[in-house]
């Protein structure tokens, strides 16, 4: 026996079909947002992260060269790198705004293992908040050299506050600075350069935190700072020139 549809049942069926179509359209329209909220990067995000990571490695090498060739900082930086347990390079840290000032940038950390074996880079952010009337903005290059186990642990953790999790001292510069580095007992020694000049700015209070998405994109799979900096189980041949230069200077 065929089923007879009453006017009411037909209306309900049509409403159900319309509802199903609307739900399907909404899910399709919000698919990118759903993917983003799930924490899984899509193809475009992975490509953008990979490009950012590759660019950071290149710019970090250039920033390191800026410190090494600086007349006031070159010699002490070389001397410190020979003692370094880990190095962090932030090629561009931005600061300055009106009323509420923010500073921050992304960079890399490399850690020494053994006599002079260095890890490939792990990607980190460095940021802080300040209050007060500040006008304009300024970009700085930041170099952090960890001299102790505590300093190294801070730089290779997922998040650390400089000055609290590890002591930070301004790096010496000028005549006699290379010799002065022998007496430094700080966990981390910092150099900040703005427009090619020593800025003399303290980074104490800044937070260094891991950039998980960049690390994953650069090494092609989920990795932790421990994988990169401690176990050193992952590599990327594009980091070869940077790692080789640090190995040469730190030997």
Token pair 């490399």 is found at 110
pLDDT at 120 over 70: yes
Examine the domain organization and report whether 187 and 105 are in the same domain.
Answer: yes
Examine the domain organization and report whether 21 and 90 are in the same domain.
Answer: no
Task: Identify whether the C-beta of residue 234 lies closer than 8 Å to the C-beta of residue 227.
Answer: yes
Q: What percent of the chain has pLDDT over 90?
A: 54
Examine the domain organization and report whether 111 and 131 are in the same domain.
Answer: yes
Higher pLDDT, 204 or 89: 89
φ/ψ region of 174 (left if φ > 0, alpha if ψ in -120 to 50, else beta) reads: left
Query: How many structural domains comprise the chain?
Result: 2
State the chain's mean pLDDT as an integer: 80
Examine the domain organization and report whether 141 and 178 are in the same domain.
Answer: yes
pLDDT at 108 over 80: yes
Examine the domain organization and report whether 99 and 36 are in the same domain.
Answer: no
Query: Which range of residues forms the domain containing residue 156?
Result: 41-250
- The values of phi and psi at residue 233, to 5°, are -95, -5
- The values of phi and psi at residue 92, to 5°, are -155, 105
pLDDT at 57 over 80: yes
- Kindly provide the b/e burial profile for residues 35-73, where b requires at least 16 CB atoms within 10 angstroms of the residue's own CB: eeeeeebeeeeeeebbebbbebbebbbebbebbbebebb
pLDDT for position 14: 45
In 3-state terms, what secondary structure has residue 23?
Answer: helix
Alpha helices in the chain (DSSP H): 7-29, 31-37, 43-69, 74-83, 149-155, 177-180, 212-219, 225, 240-250
Q: Tens of pLDDT along 6-46?
A: 444 444 344 444 444 333 333 343 433 333 434 556 778 88
CA gap 202, 198 in Å, rounded: 12
pLDDT for position 184: 77
Examine the domain organization and report whether 117 and 209 are in the same domain.
Answer: yes
Higher pLDDT, 148 or 185: 148
Examine the domain organization and report whether 224 and 123 are in the same domain.
Answer: yes
Examine the domain organization and report whether 148 and 24 are in the same domain.
Answer: no
Examine the domain organization and report whether 126 and 5 are in the same domain.
Answer: no
pLDDT for position 19: 42
pLDDT at 61 over 60: yes
pLDDT at 77 over 80: yes
Supply the Cα-derived Rg of the chain in whole angstroms.
Answer: 25
φ/ψ region of 195 (left if φ > 0, alpha if ψ in -120 to 50, else beta) reads: left
* Highest averaged pLDDT of the listed ranges 11-20, 82-91, 126-135: 82-91
Examine the domain organization and report whether 22 and 107 are in the same domain.
Answer: no
Examine the domain organization and report whether 12 and 103 are in the same domain.
Answer: no
pLDDT at 134 over 60: no
Examine the domain organization and report whether 33 and 89 are in the same domain.
Answer: no
The mean-pLDDT minimum among 10-14, 118-122, 170-174, 221-225 falls in 10-14
Higher pLDDT, 61 or 46: 61
pTM: 0.78
pLDDT for position 234: 96
φ/ψ region of 198 (left if φ > 0, alpha if ψ in -120 to 50, else beta) reads: beta
């Amino acid at each position: 026996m065929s089923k007879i549809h009453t006017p009411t049942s037909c209306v309900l069926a049509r409403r159900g079909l319309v509802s199903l179509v609307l739900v399907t359209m909404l899910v399709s329209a919000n698919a990118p947002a759903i993917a983003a909220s799930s924490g899984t990067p899509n193809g475009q995000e992975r490509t953008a992260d990979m490009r950012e990571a590759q660019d950071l490695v290149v710019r970090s090498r250039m920033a390191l060269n800026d410190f090494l060739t600086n007349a006031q900082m070159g010699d002490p930086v070389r001397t410190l790198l020979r003692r370094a347990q880990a190095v962090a390079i932030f090629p561009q840290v931005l600061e300055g705004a009106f009323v509420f000032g923010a500073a921050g940038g992304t960079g890399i950390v490399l850690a020494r293992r053994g006599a002079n074996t260095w890890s490939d880079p792990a990607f980190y952010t460095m940021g802080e908040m300040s209050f007060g009337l500040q006008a304009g903005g300024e970009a700085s290059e930041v170099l952090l050299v960890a001299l102790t186990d505590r300093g190294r642990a801070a730089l290779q953790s997922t998040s650390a506050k400089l000055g609290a999790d590890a002591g930070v001292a301004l790096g010496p510069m000028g005549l006699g600075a290379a010799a002065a580095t022998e007496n430094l007992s700080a966990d981390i020694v910092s150099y900040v350069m703005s427009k090619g000049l020593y800025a003399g700015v303290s980074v104490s209070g800044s937070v260094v935190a891991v950039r998980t998405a960049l690390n994953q994109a650069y090494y092609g799979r989920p990795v932790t700072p421990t994988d990169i900096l401690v176990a050193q189980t992952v590599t990327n041949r594009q980091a070869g020139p940077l790692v080789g230069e640090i190995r040469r200077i730190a030997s």
